[in-house]
Chains A and B, each alone.
Chain A
Amino acid sequence: MATVTAAAPGRRRRTPLARREARWAYLFLAPWIVGFLIFYAGPMVASLWLSFTEYDVINAPRYTGLDNYRELMSDPAVARSLGNTVYYTALHVPLVMLISLGLALLLKRVGRLQGFFRTVFYLPVMTPAVAVGILFLLLLNTQDGLINRVLGLVGIDGPSWTTDPHWVMPGIILMSLWSLGSTVIIYLAALQNVPRDLYEAAAIDGAGPWARFRSVTLPMISGALFFTLIVNTIASLQMFTEVYTMYFGNRETQNSFNSDAASFYVIHLFQEAFQFLHMGFASAMAWLLFAIILIITLVQVKLSNRFVYYEGEDK
C-alpha cells in the first residue's frame, strides 16, 4: 500500500494530509460499507449456505448437501414457472423495444406538444403495479372487458384472456406493454442527441429516410438500445407484482387452473419461501435465478460488442 492511487503525478509517498483525507473519505463511505455488509455481503453468504440446507424458520437449518439443487432440476412446478418467465421475457422485451422506438420516433417529430404526448405515454408507469394488475384483470375480462369489446367492434371474437391457460400469458404481455414509458423516454433522449449534421451529411450523400435511419439513427442510439435490452430483460425475469395481484395470494383464484399458467419464477420462489416456509429450497431457486441473469447479461454484452457504437472510441 505504499503507492498513491489517485494523487497528483510525481508525489509518490502519502502525505499526512492525504492520509487524513482518506480517513474522511472512508467516513463518508461508511454508511454504504456497513449497509453492504449487512444487506448484501452477509445475506449472500447466508443465502448460499441456506441453499444447501432444509430450513423452515422454526427449526434450525439442516444440511442436506445438493438436495435442493437436485430437486430444483426435477421439480415440474419450477420448470413451469421458469418456462413461463422465459416465454414472457422473450416476447415482452423485443415488443417493448420495438414499440418504444416507434413511439420515440413519433415523439421526436412533435413540436410544441411533445411534453404533452410524452406525459401520455409515461403516466401508466406512475400507476401502482397493484392497480395495474386490478385494472387489466377487468380490461381483459372475457365477456365484458374493454379489450374484447374493442376486438368485437372489428369482428374478432376475443379469447378468454384470464381463464384460458393458453391466453393467460399473452394477456399478461399485453398488460406489460402499457407500462413501457420509461423506455420511450430513454429512446427519445438518445434520438434528440443525434447530431443534426449527421443527417444533413447523409442527405447530401443521397441517403433516403430508411438509409438514414439504418446508418445514422440506429448506430447513434445503439447504446440506448443495448442499455434498455439489458435492463428490461433483468426486470422481466423478476416479474412479480402485477401478476401476483391478478392470480395469486387468494385461495379462490389460486386454486383455479390459471395460477399454473400465470406462475412466474419469482412468484413461485416467494411462495416457496413465505407460504410453504421452504427457505432452503427458495434460496437455491434464488441462486439459480442469479446465475441465469448473469449468463443472459454476459451473452447480451458479448453480442452487443459487435453492434453497439460508442462515441469517441476508435475501434
Chain B
Amino acid sequence: MTTAVERSAAAPVPGIEPARAVARRPPAEEAGRPLWHRVLFVAALVGAAIIFMLPFVWLVSASLRPREYVFAPGFLPTPFSPENYAEAWQAVPLLTWFGNSVVVGVAAAAAVTISSAWVAFGFAYFRFPGRNLLFGLVLATMMLPFAVTMIPTYLIWSNLGLTDTQVPLWAGNLFGSAFYIFLLRQFLLSLPREYFEAARVDGASYPQLFWKMAFPLIRPALLVAFVFEFKASWTDLLKPLIYLRNEQLYTLPRGLKVVLDRFGYGGEQQWEIVLAGSVLATIPMIILFFLAQRHFVEGIATTGRKG
C-alpha cells in the first residue's frame, strides 16, 4: 500500500522523461550567483540530507545498545551491545521469516515479470479488434482500491483451501499486473517493428519472437519490474496478515509486527530486540537499492512518461 506511488503510477502524463536521459551538467548560471546564495543552497541541501539520514543513524545505533540505553541521547552505539542481534535471533525464528520473504518475494516478482511481459507483448506487437478498449481496462484496474476485491479474493483462496499457505501471497501475480504491463509495453513499443517482421519472414513463431527476441531486448525493463515487485512483496504486511496464521510461514514484516507486539509495548519493552529485527528487515532492501539503483530511479521516473 505504501508503494502505491510507484506502483499505481502509470496514468499517462506527458512531459516527464527518465532523469538519465538528460545530461547532468551543473547549470551555467551557477558561477554567477552571489556567495551567500551558494552558502544558503549548500546549507539547505546538507541540512535536509541530515534530517533524512538521522532516523537511520538512530535506528542502527540504538539497535546496538543495551536495553536501558536504547533511548540514551547521542548517536553512538555506546555501550556497544551487538548481542541484541543474537538475542533477537534466539527469541523469534528470524531466519525462517527471512527465508520465507525471499521465497515469496522471488516467486511474486518472477511471476509478475514474466506474465506481464507476455501480456505486454500482446498489446505492443499485435493489432486486433478491441485493443485500445482492453488496454484502457488494464489501466482502469489500477484505480480500484485493494479493499474492494480483498474480501472475495480471500474467499477464493479460502475455498481452494489455500489460506494459511504462502500461495495467495504470490499466485495472483501469475496473471500480470497493470502497472508492469504498462511499463513493459512502453519498452516494447520502442523496439523497431521491422526487426520482428524480418524474423517472422524467416519462419519464427510468435512465442519465439517473444522469448528469443523481445524478452532479452527488454531485460533492463524486466529488471525494473522485478525489483519493484520484490520490494513490494518484501514490505507487504496486509496479505500476510490476512492469509497467514502459522508463525513458521510468516514473512519478515508479519514477523516483525509480532516482535513489536510481543517484545515492545505488549511485552517488557525489550526495544533492543524490536530494533535489531527492524534493522535486519531493512538491510536487504538497502542492498537491493544499491544493486539496482538505476532501475529504481528509472522505474519511478518512467511512471509518469507519456503512454
Contacts and interface: CB of A to CB of B under 8 A. Distances in A.
Contact of A240 (B1, B9, B55, B288): B1
Given A36-B141, A111-B24, A121-B52, A286 B18 contact: no
A266 B26 contact: no
A250 B264 CA distance: 10
Interface in A65-88: none
A24 B175 contact: no
B14 A245 contact: no
A249 B261 contact: yes
A123 B285 CA distance: 9
A130 B2 CA distance: 10
B237 A235 contact: no
B144 A224 contact: no
A279 B44 CA distance: 50
Contacts of A109: 26-27, 30, 41
Interface string A5-48: 11100000000000001101111110111111011101110110
A21 B128 contact: yes
A101 interface: no
A95 to B, nearest CB: 14
A262 to B, nearest CB: 13
Given A35-B175, A185-B301, A290-B144, 20 more contacts: A6-B131, A31-B175, A32-B115, A32-B175, A43-B149, A127-B285, A130-B253, A186-B9, A186-B300, A193-B15, A193-B16, A193-B22, A224-B16, A235-B4, A239-B1, A241-B235, A274-B241, A279-B151, A287-B148, A290-B147
Interface of B: 1-2, 4-6, 8-9, 11, 13-19, 21-22, 24-27, 30, 41, 44-45, 48-49, 52-56, 58-59, 62, 70-71, 73, 115, 118-119, 121-123, 125-131, 134, 137-138, 141, 143-156, 158, 172, 174-176, 181, 206, 210, 231, 234-238, 241-242, 252-253, 256-257, 260-261, 264-266, 271, 274-275, 278, 281-282, 285-286, 288-289, 293, 296-297, 300-301, 303-304
